Amino acid sequence: MSDLYANAIGHWVVVVVAMLILFFVVLTATAYTVWFERVALGRIQRRPGPNRVGPFGLLQLAADGIKAAFKESIVPTKTEHVLFVVAPCIAVAAAFLSWAVIPIGLWYNVTYWIADINIGILLVFAFSSLNVYAIFLGGYASNNKYSLLGGMRAAAQLISYEVALGLSLVPTFMIVGSLRLRDIVGYTVSWGPYHGPIPLILLTPIGFVIYLTAAVAETNRAPFDLPEAEQELIGGFLTEYTGLKFIMYYLAEYVNMITVSALAVLLFFGGWYLWFVPPVLAFLFKVVLLLFLYIWLRGTFPRLRYDMLMRLGWKVLLPLGIVNVIVTGVILVATQG
């Protein structure tokens, strides 16, 4: 019994240490993602970007974070105080929880994860759905009509694109035959006569297009950032938030960007396999490329109107996702039968 008790304690110690390491790495990656976005947008728009604080402006985010942390946190008098504080906490918690089931290849035959479960992708969807509550509760608790409208927009937008996002991945699950993220990455390596890192995007290109579009809308990024549209909602659900509570929403948005990019790498681009490149560097390289695509979209396309956003989700992506699932099923039956 004592050995069993010691093994249980040892297991939880390992899990807690892994969680702390992951939290530190993702938090650091988020800070440098913000820096990367500001530099990339500066180049796209032909302006310098951050270049004063530290070499290449690398310490700009630390300066901004310290400044924002010491700003006065203003809470309007007629807000729902408990919900007003809890809402950004839900956003941050949901953003980090998804990483509990995301595997990362550190080195050859060495893979890092906190929980390796057979329905990992479903847990990621469940955690990401909590973002609806965070945004809507933030808008509702602010006691501001513009904030409430932003929260309602977010709820409708996230629910609409959740359906298309889920459908975009069904063909991948049908081909691989598993919902475990590690199995999907392994399938991309073992598939084909040459046993090389064949990306699943070659088998499900339509699924990737739907996934990318729906994921950008899910993370409220331009050109789908309607919940915080400054032109008509003066900031939307974020209007009344300042100080650390504003930073928490900001942090959750960028963590979600990294999560979406990491999932795309695992599901469509062969995970951490890239021929002779070390796994952790290959994974990082692919994630950075997808993050640049996020930034490129922001610097290229104007914000859509809300009716255009809803029309794209329900009349284009949803039917296309259903057709993609049917066609994939027919092809699998024909080839396996």
pLDDT in tens, 78-120: 888 888 989 999 999 999 988 888 888 877 777 777 777 888 8
Average pLDDT of the residues in 141-154: 86
pLDDT at 275 (0 to 100)? 78
User: Over the stretch 179-220, which tens digit does the pLDDT of each residue have?
Assistant: 888 888 888 766 655 455 678 898 899 999 999 999 999 888
Alpha helices in 45-178 (DSSP H): 60-69, 81-97, 120-141, 145-176
The span from the CA of 127 to the CA of 246, in Å, is: 21
Q: Which residues, 6 or more positions from 102, have their beta carbon under 8 angstroms from its beta carbon? A: 113, 120, 124, 181, 259, 262, 263, 266
pLDDT at 1 (0 to 100)? 47
- Contact (CB, 8 A) for 211 and 168: yes
**How much of the chain exceeds pLDDT 90, in percent?**
31
The span from the CA of 271 to the CA of 291, in Å, is: 15
User: Which DSSP string corresponds to 162-216?
Assistant: HHHHHHHHHHHHHHH----HHHHHHHHHH-STT-S---GGGT-HHHHHHHHHHHH
Of residues 94 and 1, more confidently modeled:
94
Q: Which residues, 6 or more positions from 327, have their beta carbon under 8 angstroms from its beta carbon? A: none
pLDDT at 70 (0 to 100)? 81
- Contact (CB, 8 A) for 219 and 257: yes
- The ranges assigned to domains in the chain are 1-65, 71-336
User: Over the stretch 257-301, which tens digit does the pLDDT of each residue have?
Assistant: 999 999 999 999 988 888 788 888 999 999 999 999 999 999 898
Question: What's the full length of the chain, in residues?
Answer: 337
Average pLDDT of the residues in 124-130: 87
The span from the CA of 275 to the CA of 288, in Å, is: 18
Q: Cα dist. 220→125, 161, 180 in Å?
A: 16, 11, 27
Q: Which residues, 6 or more positions from 253, have their beta carbon under 8 angstroms from its beta carbon? A: 219, 220, 221
Name the pLDDT band for 319 (thresholds 50, 70, 90): very high
The span from the CA of 207 to the CA of 331, in Å, is: 15
Q: Which residues, 6 or more positions from 123, have their beta carbon under 8 angstroms from its beta carbon? A: 98, 100, 101, 117
User: Over the stretch 226-257, which tens digit does the pLDDT of each residue have?
Assistant: 877 766 777 778 888 888 888 889 899 999 99
